[in-house]
Amino acid sequence: MMEGLRIRRIDPFRLEIERKPPMRTRGIVYANSKIERSLEKDIVLQQVANVACLPGIVGPSLAMPDIHWGYGFPIGGVAAFSARDGIISPGGVGYDINCGIRCISTRLGLDEVKPVLDELLTGLFRNVPAGVGSINKGFQVGKKEFREVLTKGALWAVKKGFADRDDLDAHEESGCIEGADPDMVSERAVERGLPQLGTLGSGNHFLELDVVDDIMDEETANRFGLFAGQVVVLVHTGSRGLGHQVCDDYVHSMLVSLRRFGIELPDRQLACAPVGSPEGKAYLGAMAAAANFAFANRDLITLVVRETFERQFNRSSERLGMRLLYDCCHNIAKMEKVTHEGSPITVCIHRKGATRAFPPGDPRLPERYRQTGQPVLVPGDMGRMSYILAGQAGSRETFYSACHGAGRLLSRRQATKISRGRSILDELRKKDIHAMAASRSTLAEEIPEAYKDVSDVVDTITGAGIARPVARLRPVAMMKG
């Protein structure tokens, strides 16, 4: 631990953690004054400083405004490491590899959905397995085909007829992370993942119906297919037990190899290996496989969502306009080319609780988003707004990264304690939000006051020029695990 971190405000949206040994670089935390106050007694700033100690770090150790404590790296943390002499750390990706979110648009207005909202939510809750250890018997595959899921991700779902080919360019990386190596995934991880394709899981994972409450950029909203009063669907989940096991396996194996690489850590949870080492390459292959599982998982849930809407409204998903707006990763590490100090360099960018945010004109964007910039989906808590943003030029300072949500203020234990004796479902209903959950304990852990106000998070990101607001969403119905 480093005592007495020196922190100063750079501008209304950024704090600097000054470099002091053994830090190799400074830290930059994106936070307005309100978010700064929530961080004053939080050890999470120490985590930002700890990441700055890791070998081969390029540029500052970064944190988005939804920052909160995580395993090793903070959630909301972004860090780039040289492909030549940097590291890869499972804690920099997290236990839920490619936990991510997607938005499915519709042509339906709230006036058409509201009369059948309870019936529609009940159908979704019945058809999408949710909760701890949930499985989906409708999407069981053998181990041979499961390898194809891990290798091809969304491409597998398209091949099987479970997803639309037109949706592929609305997935980050077209829904398939290159370099996936199923041989680097343990048998235990495979066993955990096999029955969980097409399942939501628990914790902060959710399926939510929202209405577009405000259009903030008319031209971009039109290009995204958004309009005021429109109902959209958000799906937030990841790689389930498979990703958790992959992370656990490699944290332990890298702890064993640290001495051989001569790496000293301020926190053992930052277990890592040189990105070009056999251990580093093995983790990257296993992580990509878990990420591809997550893409396929969200595709299968989307299939079920479309089928549920079709039955409810007696129209095809095409006629209902159920098109994928975007699907983005929140927990991932990827090799990307960036410009640093005026020179092109290849780095391994860790985004843990952070969303990629390419600006307009970036050649890596699909044609449909080349002019607008990448959609950035920022969900709020159960009782407040969510946002759809678009990447801007300022994201170059964050290695093309933005926030991923509201960010926790309270631990799950603290949230459960203050929600004791309350009916969270009734509280939500008073806000005209319909909710269903597999577990009352999940609702207690996920109460709105357990999170920062997402509007403060978005104001910071937009004020810093990382992304611009396109639309604000209001929750009307949700299901939790």
Residue-wise pLDDT for 27-80, tens only, equals: 999 999 999 999 987 799 999 999 999 999 999 999 999 999 999 999 999 999
Among 136-140, 210-214, 233-237, the minimum mean pLDDT is found in 136-140
Residue-wise pLDDT for 448-463, tens only, equals: 999 999 999 999 999 9
Residue-wise pLDDT for 145-159, tens only, equals: 999 999 999 999 999
Average pLDDT over residues 184-194: 98
pLDDT greater than 70 at residue 330: yes
CATH code for the structural domain at 7-480? 3.90.1860.10
pLDDT value of residue 220: 98
- Each domain of the chain, given as residue ranges in start order, spans 7-480
pLDDT value of residue 138: 86
pLDDT value of residue 329: 97
pLDDT value of residue 10: 97
pLDDT value of residue 219: 98
| DSSP-derived secondary structure letter, 400 | S
Average pLDDT over residues 361-379: 97
Instruction: Note whether 289 and 184 are within 8 A (CB).
Output: yes
pTM of the model: 0.97
Instruction: Note whether 201 and 237 are within 8 A (CB).
Output: yes
| Residue 404 annotated among the catalytic residues of the structure | yes
Q: Work out the pLDDT band at 331, boundaries 50, 70, 90.
A: very high
Residue-wise pLDDT for 385-424, tens only, equals: 999 999 999 999 999 999 999 999 999 999 999 999 899 9
> The tokens 């400083």 sit on which residue?
49
Q: Which residue has the higher pLDDT, 439 or 279?
A: 279
Instruction: Note whether 461 and 154 are within 8 A (CB).
Output: no
Strand pairing partners for 415? none
pLDDT value of residue 2: 53
DSSP letters, 413-435, are HHHHHHTTT--HHHHHHHTT-EE
Question: Quick check: helix, strand or coil at residue 160?
Answer: coil
pLDDT greater than 90 at residue 440: no
Q: Work out the pLDDT band at 3, boundaries 50, 70, 90.
A: low
Task: Please state, rounded to an integer, the average pLDDT across all residues of the chain.
Answer: 96
Identify the active-site residue in 205, 350, 404, 434: 404
What is the distance between the alpha carbons of residues 475 and 208, in angstroms, rounded to a whole number? 7
Instruction: Note whether 480 and 445 are within 8 A (CB).
Output: no
Q: What percent of the chain has pLDDT over 90?
A: 94
Q: Work out the pLDDT band at 481, boundaries 50, 70, 90.
A: confident
pLDDT value of residue 1: 46
pLDDT value of residue 40: 80
Angle at 66 between CA 473 and CA 370, to 5 degrees: 60
